[in-house]
Amino acid sequence: MNVRFLAEADIEFREAARYYEDKAPGLGSPVDDELRKFVLRRFPYNLIYAVAGDEVVITAVAHHKRRPFYWGRRGRR
């Protein structure tokens, strides 16, 4: 299943990531050259994702305190 944002929602998402990155480095920020991290507000999880062409590929739904960076060896599909 592809995750797709409407153009307006994509702009809002990117603006929110930039805003939070300015306020607290590491929020909505790049993890490496391909992956980005989105910190969920109400839950102790990060969404690790990449944008590949016309889809968002979520690589991991990672708990803040369990096995840090366990997803680092996953391929970028």
pLDDT in tens, 15-66: 777 777 787 776 657 777 778 888 888 888 888 888 878 788 878 888 888 8
Secondary structure (3-state) at 37: strand
Whole-model pTM: value is 0.59
Name the maximum alpha-carbon separation found in the chain.
35
Asked if 21 and 29 touch (Cβ cutoff 8 Å), the reply is yes
Name which residue leads in pLDDT, 13 or 37. 37
